Amino acid sequence: MLTIGNRTFESPLVLAPLSGISDLPYRLINRKVGCCLAFTEMISAHAMVYENKKTLHMLDMDEADRPLGLQIMGGEPDIIKRALEIAEQHKFDLIDFNSACPARKVSGSGKGAALMKDLKKLEEILKAIIANTDLPATVKIRAGWDALSINAVETAQLAESVGMAAVFIHGRTKSQGYRGNVDYGIIKKVKEAVGIPVIASGDALSPELIKRMFDETGCDGVILARGALGNPWLFNATTEFLKTGIVPPRPSGTELAEIMKAHLALSLQTLGERLAIVRFRKFFAWYAKGLPAKKLKDSAFRAASADEMYRQIDVLAEISLAGKCPEGTSTDVIFGSRG
């Protein structure tokens, strides 16, 4: 279980907010196989306030898509206040503020991870969030800006002091992006320095690595990001591994096809055929990771209709059922080893 503010969630495993990925269909698919708490993809407070149609569409939710947190990004307290007024109409369960995004277009404009270099400004923003929402509010941070400015402990203590209900921390610096090693030590230091829940992020790619995160940091929860791409089964597999020490067998080709078809159907329903097919192409590649399906992935990227994409899914299921992979490759790559 995981408690954040006055909300308690059944699992300590959280689906990460990923830009361009964590849409409604993606979240619903992950909920089918064990995800409890999820977040919208990172949403610009500025775009919300100025009623960008694409941004407002990202606020879509479904009753089956609960509990759901809204993750916002911005650099102006007044704009964030107005965005929170809009968010009230959507009945989110949590509000998360992103001060961790390393993308150049975000941090280069003084937002995201750049706020870890300006804690005074970050404090103003966090106070504005606390003052303008009744929901539990959290903040996502990184280890620091670079190796010479590791300030996650100070930032987490600041967040706690202004009333944030939890801290999400990625164990890399902004300069690292998603490269190099995750610093388990800094996450542990943050956990020891604050009394609010600490949810850790970084390399949660398999049940074994997720258990390592819990064991080495003492964190209260773990965010599943890249590890869940094409592998929503990671939630149930990790829950089982944490309980029994055994990783369940990878899903069969039939199960793979069922989830992929359900994901595609939700995308078609939500986005319409043209956009759904375009967006699903990258998901097809993630679902196919570890399988000998390079030519099939190429075909899927050329698919222009739902019927074509469904046919590609059927072929991928046959490949998975055959269990044949190139030498040196294992389908366990995406589902976690069974060791």
Same domain, 291 and 206: no
Q: What is residue 72's predicted lDDT score, i.e. its pLDDT? A: 96
The SS3 call for residue 339 is coil
- What is the percent of the chain with per-residue pLDDT over 70, rounded to a whole number? 95
Asked whether residue 282 is assigned to any structural domain, the reply reads yes
What range defines the domain where residue 62 resides?
2-244
> Does the annotation mark 101 as catalytic?
yes
Q: What is residue 227's predicted lDDT score, i.e. its pLDDT? A: 94
Count of structural domains, the chain? 2
pLDDT tens, position by position, 238-256: 999 999 999 999 889 999 9
Asked whether residue 189 is assigned to any structural domain, the reply reads yes
Q: What is residue 323's predicted lDDT score, i.e. its pLDDT? A: 60
Lookup: tokens for 70: 């809204």
Are the C-beta atoms of residues 217 and 228 closer than 8 Å to each other?
no
Same domain, 107 and 203: yes
pTM of the model: 0.89
Find the DSSP H helices in the chain.
24-32, 45-49, 53-57, 77-87, 104-107, 119-131, 152-162, 184-193, 207-217, 234-244, 253-271, 273-287, 294-302, 306-322, 332-335
> What is the DSSP-derived secondary structure letter of residue 90?
G
Same domain, 272 and 302: yes
Instruction: Give pLDDT < 50 ranges for the chain.
Output: 324-339
Task: Check which CATH number belongs to the domain holding 289 and give it.
Answer: 1.10.1200.80
Are the C-beta atoms of residues 247 and 240 closer than 8 Å to each other?
yes
Q: What is residue 327's predicted lDDT score, i.e. its pLDDT? A: 33
Q: Of 244, 270, 305, at which residue does a domain stop?
A: 244
Same domain, 10 and 146: yes
Asked whether residue 330 is assigned to any structural domain, the reply reads no
List 35, 36, 101, 219, catalytic entry: 101
Same domain, 230 and 116: yes
Q: What is residue 145's predicted lDDT score, i.e. its pLDDT? A: 87
Same domain, 143 and 271: no
Cα–Cα distances (Å) from 128 to 80, 102, 156, 205, 263, in that order, read: 8, 23, 17, 35, 37
